Amino acid sequence: MTAKTVTILGATGSIGTQTLEVLALYPEQFRLGFITTHRNIDRLHSILQQFSPKGIVICDPEACAAFQRTTTYQGTILCGEDALAEVAADGTNDIVVSALVGFAGVRPTLAALEQGINVALANKEVLVSAGELVTTTARRSAASLIPIDSEHSAIAQCLMGERKESIEKIILTASGGPFRNYTLKQLHAVTLEEALRHPNWKMGPKITIDSATLMNKGLEMIEARWLFDLHPAQIEVLIHPQSIVHSLVQFVDGSIKAQLGLPDMRLPILYALSAPQRLPTPFPRTDLAAIHTLTFEPPDENRFPCLRLARQVLETGGTAPTILNAANEVAVQAFINRKIRFTDIPVIIAETLEKITPVGKPSLADIIAADSEARSLAEQIVATLPTKV
């Protein structure tokens, strides 16, 4: 394998940091291209002590100016959000790791795919908001869209050597989050601190809250629909609190394949960068005898209505998932800002969905319009709710 140049969108985040850890383990296989951050200058300085990227993007103009005043870094420094698409589409990239959070990743991810550059995708909101457009763009330019999300990486691995028509259904596993056994009454009272304490994974704040509401699994159903070109009825969710079986595929003969491993995102990141090759790792091994018990149970959509909302928009299609995603981003941010209760999140999303009519076969302009309409509506709904004490 000749060394691949890897550009990381969102290099200062949880996935970005773990991607850099993987690159550091395999200097012969991977070279760092560009790295980007919203405004995490401290983390950028520490990355530069270890790595020499080709260039840096800092989206926040003030943070960028401050960085330029203080750094001794000699490479290219670009300021502003537009530079994300510019570095994503750079001709020297072999692969772009899309690890921004939220809708902000749509344009840069499309920019890379339009140039025929392969994308390793962590930023699931890109496929939720613009799945059809993103997958047709990839097909047209023959670029690969490789999943980093552990469930989708598991399914891609289970599908190696299989035919599409052999798939009966896929089963996405979910840990169930920190509130798996909570009653509705208990869910009303959960605090931000409790919601940010995920039992199995250490991740950025947005996906951690999404995991607690189970919206993360809802977004992953939509992500899977586009990555594997499935019918909504072929996508199931199963609660598996141990997070060892990362997902499963059931075939038409009734046989099931699953992919197992410890909950460590470096594994799916490495696989996305090296597939179909597997590189030896020094990571801890899964000791099934020590784990002893693996359990599975169906999800409860009454206590976790985000899952039902996601299934509804998956079936509706068009810009319905874009609207759900935007309303969820606003609601999660409002919860993080302590403006609403945990159980207000699905209420805000449902109300936003009721008030906006989705359009089919959306263009990028339709998607951007649906996203911003849903955001402002969701913000209005947040403002009408009683402020949380």
Binding site for Mg ion (CB under 5 A): 149-151
Closest CA to 56 of 5, 118, 7: 7
318 binds ligand NAD (CB under 6 A): no
Q: Which residue among 59, 117, 171, 195 contacts ligand NAD (CB under 6 A)?
A: 59
Residue with structure tokens 């023959």?
142
Q: Strand, coil or helix: what is 118?
A: strand
Q: Which of ligand NAD, Mg ion, none is residue 14 near (CB under 5 to 8 Å by kind)?
A: ligand NAD
Q: Which of ligand NAD, Mg ion, none is residue 123 near (CB under 5 to 8 Å by kind)?
A: ligand NAD
Site string for ligand NAD, 198-227 (x = CB under 6 A): ---x-xx--x--------------------
Site string for ligand NAD, 255-274 (x = CB under 6 A): ----------x---------
Only segment of 64-72, 117-125, 128-136, 172-180 that touches ligand NAD (CB under 6 A):
117-125
- Inter-residue contact 10 to 29 (CB < 8 Å): no
Residue 171's H or E segment, with its range, is strand 167-174
Closest CA to 352 of 306, 315, 297, 299: 306
Name the closest residue to Mg ion (Cβ). 149
Tokens of 83: 């530079």
Q: How many angstroms separate the CA atoms of 358 and 161, rounded? A: 37
Name the closest residue to ligand NAD (Cβ). 13
Q: Which residue among 125, 344, 366, 371 contacts ligand NAD (CB under 6 A)?
A: 125
310 binds ligand NAD (CB under 6 A): no
- Helical ranges in 180-338 per DSSP H: 184-188, 192-195, 205-213, 215-227, 266-274, 288-291, 305-316, 320-336
Site string for ligand NAD, 28-47 (x = CB under 6 A): ---------xx-x-------
Torsion-angle region of residue 178: left (phi > 0), alpha (psi -120 to 50) or beta? alpha
Contacts with ligand NAD by CB under 6 A lie at 10-16, 37-38, 40, 59, 81, 99-101, 104, 122-125, 149, 201, 203-204, 207, 265
